[in-house]
Amino acid sequence: MARAAAACRSGFPEIAPPVPDGRAGPSGDGDGARTRGDVTGSGAHGDFPRIGRVGLDGLLVSFGDRLSEAGNRAALAFRAAVERETPAGVEESSTSLVSVFLRIDALCTDPGAVARAMQVLLDSRDWYAEPLPEGRRLWRIPTVYGSDLAPQLGEAAAEAGLTPEAAMAELSRARMRVQTIGFAPGQPYLGELPAHWDIPRQQALTDRVPVGALVVAIRQLVLFSVSTPTGWRHVGQTAMRLFRPEAEVPFVLRPGDEVIFEAVGREAWERLRAEASDGGATSEAIR
């Protein structure tokens, strides 16, 4: 939750040394290269982690430029540390696949000073070696693959070089991990499928997929929490409601949770949808 914004007691020093912001342009300084923070840890992660700016009041702590299990763990652990330490000026934090976003109260706190504090925190340990979050759960979510409910199974299977039957078998057995919640409320990005699932998004967007749609691209699955246009291919349909604004727990899944999208027949799915909450989805603690 957002921390209450502390009132500015006085203006902070007018111009503090800003974080390099990749400023590029006719009046710019430098070559527009991406911001580099000091490299911490081993050289295994190249120029990462590094700290950059997002807009006027955002900092981005990046642990890689592509999805990796270690980068994802690092981002989750770093955000947890930020939430524990509640550094001055940080109003809110979130993670995406391999990065942590910090929203700064830029009018009260110099974002450059926050960035320096974050650098100290980055340097304090090897974030890529941190464990996954506590309290993770394994979810089993009954899923209809293909049919008129999820019309792009065949197309996605062909992209992955599989028959629809083989694709369904693989997807329904895969134990996928929630790497981030984002884009839409409560919506998980799950990874990571085998390399042959590195299939592109479609050129043209599908007009609208329903709530509970399971879609695939670039070795990831997304389970849609809202009805929306998408470039990902719709391969399965669930009856899961991931965002319940009226409920005590409005957002169901958490980063680190694991999900198996178990295949069920159309009739069984319809029955579960009618009779069980969330179409028969269950969860258990991961020990």
Partner 1 sequence: MSRALIVHQAGPGVTVQDLGREGYLAFGLSRGGAADRLALHEGAALLGQSPTLAALEMAGTGGTFEATEAMRIALTGAPMRASIDGAALVWNAAHLLPAGARLIIGPATAGVYGYLHLGGGLATPEVLGARSAHLAAGIGAPLTAGDRLPVGPDRGGETGLMLVPEERVSGGMVRIVAGCQTGLFDPAEVARLEQTEFTRDARGNRMGVRLNPEGAGFAARGGLTVLSEAIVPGDIQITGDGAPFVLMAESQTTGGYPRIGAVLPCDLARVAQAAPGTRLRLRFVPMDEALAAERRAAEARKTLRRRVARLTRDPHDIRDLLSYQLISGVVAGNEEE
Q: Residues interacting with partner 1, by CB under 8 A?
A: 1-2, 11, 14-15, 18, 21-28, 31-35, 52-58, 60, 62, 64-67, 79, 91-99, 101, 103, 106-107, 111, 180-187, 189, 201, 225-226, 228, 243, 245-246, 250-251
- Whole-number minimum distance, CB 171 to partner 1, in Å? 21
Question: Where are the alpha helices (H) located in the chain, listed in sequence order?
Answer: 69-85, 111-123, 153-159, 164-173, 266-275
- Which pair of structure tokens corresponds to residue 153? 């199974």
Please choose, from the candidates 17, 18, 8, the residue with its C-alpha nearest in 3D space to the C-alpha of residue 59.
18
- Whole-number minimum distance, CB 197 to partner 1, in Å? 17
**Rounded Cα–Cα distance for residues 144 and 149 (Å):** 7
- Give the nearer residue to partner 1 in terms of CB position, either 145 or 238: 238
- Whole-number minimum distance, CB 237 to partner 1, in Å? 18
- Whole-number minimum distance, CB 122 to partner 1, in Å? 15
Q: In terms of C-beta density within 10 A (0-12 exposed, 13-18 middle, 19 or more buried), how is residue 150 classed?
A: buried
Omega before residue 192 within 30° of 0, cis: yes
- Give the nearer residue to partner 1 in terms of CB position, either 145 or 220: 220
- Whole-number minimum distance, CB 42 to partner 1, in Å? 21
- Give the nearer residue to partner 1 in terms of CB position, either 66 or 84: 66
For 74-86, letters b (16+ CB in 10 Å) and e give: bbbbbbbbbeeee
- Give the nearer residue to partner 1 in terms of CB position, either 115 or 168: 115
Omega before residue 49 within 30° of 0, cis: yes
- Whole-number minimum distance, CB 268 to partner 1, in Å? 27
- Give the nearer residue to partner 1 in terms of CB position, either 67 or 240: 67
- Whole-number minimum distance, CB 217 to partner 1, in Å? 10
Please choose, from the candidates 213, 252, 245, 3, the residue with its C-alpha nearest in 3D space to the C-alpha of residue 108.
3
- Whole-number minimum distance, CB 55 to partner 1, in Å? 4
> Which residues lie across from 57 on neighbouring strands?
none
Measured over the CA atoms of residue 133, residue 136, residue 140 and residue 141, the dihedral's sign is negative
- Give the nearer residue to partner 1 in terms of CB position, either 55 or 161: 55
- Give the nearer residue to partner 1 in terms of CB position, either 46 or 267: 46
**Rounded Cα–Cα distance for residues 46 and 1 (Å):** 33
CB atoms < 10 A from the CB of 170, how many?
Answer: 16
- Give the nearer residue to partner 1 in terms of CB position, either 93 or 238: 93
